[in-house]
C-alpha cells in the first residue's frame, strides 16, 4: 500500500458482486480523485481482475485489490494490512450481503450478521472515517403492510426468509453503534437491472414474470399471478448506487436510514401489462391461483433461473408502501430521482431475451450463484 492517497479513500466490500461492481464503476467515473480498496475472497480474485479490466488505465490505477474476506475476523487481512487500511479509509460502503430468498440460515447469519460485526469493528479503528454506509434492504419490513417509515425497524413483523430476518438483525447492530460511529443505512426495494442497459446479474424476483414472457409459447396469454392491485416496488441498480454514493458523502445523513425506492410504484398488474406490451404479448383480464403460477415457474426455461418463486409470490401479495422522505431530503437539488419503470422496461425485457437465448445456445443447466449478492 502506498503511504499517501487522495482526500477520499473508499473501502467497498462485496466485490465482484453485481451491486459492488456497479458502485465501483460509479465512483471511478464520478470522483476523479477517489481511491478504492476492495476486499476480495481468494476464489473471486480472477473474476475481480477481469471485472476491473473494463476500466481505463488511469481508473484501474486508483483501485487496489486486497485478498481477504469481508465476513472473517479482521476482514481476513494480515495485521499489517488491517492497520494500514484503517489509517487510510475515509468512507466505507459495506455491500457484502446475501439477499436471495433461497439462502440458508447459517450462510445468512455468517454474511449479514457476522460481516456487519466485522465492518463495525473495522470502522472503530479507522482514523479518518467520515461515513460507513450499510446496505440493507426494504425487505426488513418482512410481512408488514401499509406504510413503513424509514426510521422504523422492529414493529412486530415476521419474516419470510432467513435473508430478511438476518438483514434486520444486522440493522440492529449498526443502530446500536450510530452514537459512536458515522453510519447511514440504505434500504433498496427490489433491485432490477440498469435503467440504461438493462444489465443485471441474476434473473429472479420480478424477472420471473419476464421469463414467463420470453419462455412461453407466443400465442399463450400471459397469466397474472395475483389480483395485481398491490404495489410493485422496483428500483434500478444505477439509481441505487448513485443515491447511496451521494448519501454517503453527506454528514447530515449519518445516523439515519434511507429507503431507496420508487416514490410512485406501479401496481403489479400495471407492471405486468408494461412487460407484456414490451414483449408483444397478450395479458388476460383475470388472474391464476398461486399453485398454478408455481407450476408455470417450474417450466423449462424458467426453472433454470428461478430458485425461490414462493418468496417472490408472497411478496407480490403483500400490500406495503415505503416512505422516502429522508431520501428525498438528502437528494434534493442533486438531480437524482428514481426513473419510472415505464422509461426502462424495454431495456429490461431486451436484456432478458438476450440472456435466455445465450443460455439456450450454450445448453446451460444452472446459473452460478454469487454468495454475496
- Residues 187 and 221 grouped into a single domain: no
Hunting for cell 401489462 — which residue is that? 273
**pTM for this structure?**
0.89
Q: Within this chain, do residues 28 and 142 fall inside the same structural domain, yes or no? A: yes
Taking all residues of the chain, what is their mean pLDDT, rounded to a whole number?
A: 87
In the DSSP assignment, the letter for residue 352 is: H
- Secondary structure (3-state) at 263: coil
Judge whether 334 lies within some domain.
no
Contact 235, 262 (CB under 8 A): yes
> What is the span of the domain harbouring residue 309?
195-233+265-318+339-362
pLDDT of residue 6 exceeding 70: no
Alpha helices in 45-161 (DSSP H): 45-52, 57-60, 79-88, 105-108, 115-125
Separation of alpha carbons 266 and 316, rounded Å: 12
Specify whether the CB–CB gap between 15 and 42 falls below 8 A. no
CA-based angle 189:194:200, to the nearest 5?
85
When mean pLDDT is compared over 98-107, 201-210, 250-259, the highest value belongs to 250-259
Would the pLDDT of 13 be above 50?
yes
pLDDT at 268: 87
Tell whether 93 and 149 lie within a shared domain: yes
In Å, how far from its chain's centre is CA 319? 21
358 pLDDT tier (thresholds 50, 70, 90): confident
CA of residue 16 relative to chain centroid, distance: 13
Mean pLDDT of 65-82: 97
**Residue 245 maps to a domain:** yes
User: 361: which residues sit within 8 A by CB, 6+ positions away?
Assistant: none
Specify whether 150 is located in the same domain as 127.
Answer: yes
Q: Same structural domain for residues 253 and 285?
A: no
Q: Which residue has the cell 441505487?
A: 240
Percent pLDDT > 90 in the chain is 69
pLDDT in tens, 18-29: 999 999 999 999
From CA 310, how far away is CA 19, in angstroms rounded?
24
DSSP letter assigned to residue 44: G
Task: Answer yes or no: do 162 and 224 share one domain.
Answer: no
**Helix ranges restricted to H, 152-236:** 162-177, 207-215
User: Is 366 or 210 the better-scoring residue by pLDDT?
Assistant: 210
* pLDDT tens digits, 228-242: 788 999 999 999 999
Ranges assigned E (strand) in the chain: 9-12, 35-40, 63-67, 91-94, 131-135, 146-148, 183-188, 190-192, 231-232, 234-236, 257-260, 266-267, 320-322
Judgement on whether residues 103 and 129 belong to the same structural domain of the protein? yes
Average of per-residue pLDDT across 99-116: 94
Residue 43 belongs to some domain of the structure: yes
> Are residues 57 and 156 part of one domain?
yes
Q: What is the pLDDT of residues 279-293, one digit of tens each?
A: 887 665 555 555 555
Q: Can you give the pLDDT at residue 297?
A: 55
> Which phi and psi angles does 213 have, rounded to 5°?
-65, -45
Residue 54: Cβ-neighbour burial (10 angstroms; 0-12, 13-18, 19+) = exposed
Is 101 part of a structural domain of the chain? yes
Q: At what angle do helices 162-177 and 115-125 cross, to 10 degrees?
A: 20
Q: Check residues 93 and 288 and name the one with the higher pLDDT.
A: 93
pLDDT score, position 371 = 37
Identify the weakest region by mean pLDDT among 30-39, 142-151, 359-368: 359-368
Q: Are residue 213 and residue 201 in the same domain, yes or no?
A: yes
CATH code: domain of residue 43: 3.40.50.720
Q: For the chain, how many structural domains are there in total?
A: 2
Q: Can you tell me the distance from the alpha carbon of 188 to that of 95, in angstroms, rounded to the nearest whole number?
A: 12
d(CA 101, CA 161): 6
Write the DSSP string, 128-171. S--EEEEE--GGGGTT--EEE-TT---SS---SSHHHHHHHHHH
Same domain, 293 and 148: no
Same domain, 102 and 208: no
Label residue 65 exposed, middle or buried (CB < 10 Å: 0-12, 13-18, 19+): middle
* Angle of CA points 36, 52, 361, to nearest 5°: 145
Give the torsion through C-alpha atoms of 75, 78, 84, 85, to 10 deg.
Answer: -20
CA 246/CA 57 separation, integer angstroms: 25
Give a yes or no: residue 121 inside a domain.
yes
* 103 and 225 co-located in one domain: no
Phi-psi category of residue 21: left, alpha or beta, with phi > 0 → left and psi -120 to 50 → alpha: alpha
Amino acid at each position: 500500500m502506498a503511504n499517501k492517497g487522495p482526500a477520499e479513500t473508499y473501502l467497498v466490500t462485496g466485490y465482484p458482486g453485481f451491486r459492488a461492481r456497479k458502485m465501483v464503476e460509479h465512483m471511478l467515473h464520478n470522483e476523479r480523485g477517489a481511491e478504492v480498496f476492495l476486499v476480495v475472497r481468494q476464489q473471486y480474485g480472477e473474476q475481480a481482475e477481469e471485472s476491473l479490466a473494463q476500466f481505463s488505465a488511469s481508473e484501474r490505477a486508483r483501485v487496489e485489490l486486497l485478498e481477504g474476506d469481508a465476513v472473517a475476523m479482521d476482514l481476513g487481512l494480515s495485521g499489517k494490512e488491517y492497520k494500514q487500511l484503517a489509517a487510510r479509509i475515509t468512507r466505507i460502503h459495506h455491500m457484502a450481503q446475501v439477499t436471495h430468498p433461497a439462502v440458508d440460515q447459517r450462510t445468512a447469519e455468517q454474511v449479514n450478521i457476522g460481516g456487519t460485526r466485522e465492518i463495525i469493528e473495522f470502522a472503530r479503528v479507522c482514523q479518518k472515517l467520515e461515513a460507513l454506509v450499510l446496505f440493507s434492504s426494504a425487505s426488513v419490513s418482512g410481512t408488514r403492510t401499509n406504510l413503513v417509515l424509514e426510521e422504523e425497524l422492529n414493529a412486530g413483523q415476521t419474516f419470510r426468509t432467513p435473508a430478511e430476518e438476518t438483514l434486520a438483525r444486522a440493522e440492529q447492530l449498526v443502530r446500536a453503534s450510530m452514537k459512536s460511529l458515522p453510519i447511514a443505512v440504505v434500504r433498496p426495494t427490489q433491485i432490477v437491472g440498469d435503467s440504461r442497459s438493462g444489465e443485471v446479474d441474476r434473473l429472479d424476483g420480478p424477472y420471473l414474470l419476464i421469463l414467463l414472457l420470453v419462455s412461453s409459447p407466443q400465442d399463450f396469454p400471459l397469466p397474472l399471478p395475483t389480483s395485481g392491485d398491490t404495489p410493485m416496488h422496483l428500483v434500478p441498480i444505477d439509481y441505487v448506487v448513485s443515491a447511496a454514493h451521494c448519501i454517503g458523502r453527506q454528514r447530515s445523513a449519518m445516523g439515519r436510514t434511507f429507503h431507496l425506492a420508487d416514490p410512485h410504484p406501479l401496481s403489479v398488474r400495471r407492471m405486468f401489462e408494461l412487460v407484456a406490451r414490451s414483449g408483444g404479448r397478450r395479458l388476460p383480464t383475470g388472474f391464476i391461483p398461486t399453485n398454478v403460477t408455481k407450476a408455470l415457474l417450474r417450466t423449462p426455461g424458467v426453472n433454470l433461473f428461478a430458485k425461490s418463486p414462493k418468496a417472490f409470490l408472497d411478496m407480490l401479495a403483500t400490500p406495503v408502501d415505503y416512505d422516502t422522505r429522508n431520501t428525498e431530503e438528502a437528494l434534493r437539488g442533486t438531480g437524482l430521482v428514481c426513473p419510472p419503470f415505464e422509461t426502462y422496461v424495454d431495456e429490461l425485457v431486451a436484456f432478458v431475451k438476450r440472456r435466455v437465448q445465450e443460455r439456450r445456445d450454450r445448453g446451460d443447466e444452472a446459473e452460478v450463484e454469487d454468495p454475496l449478492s
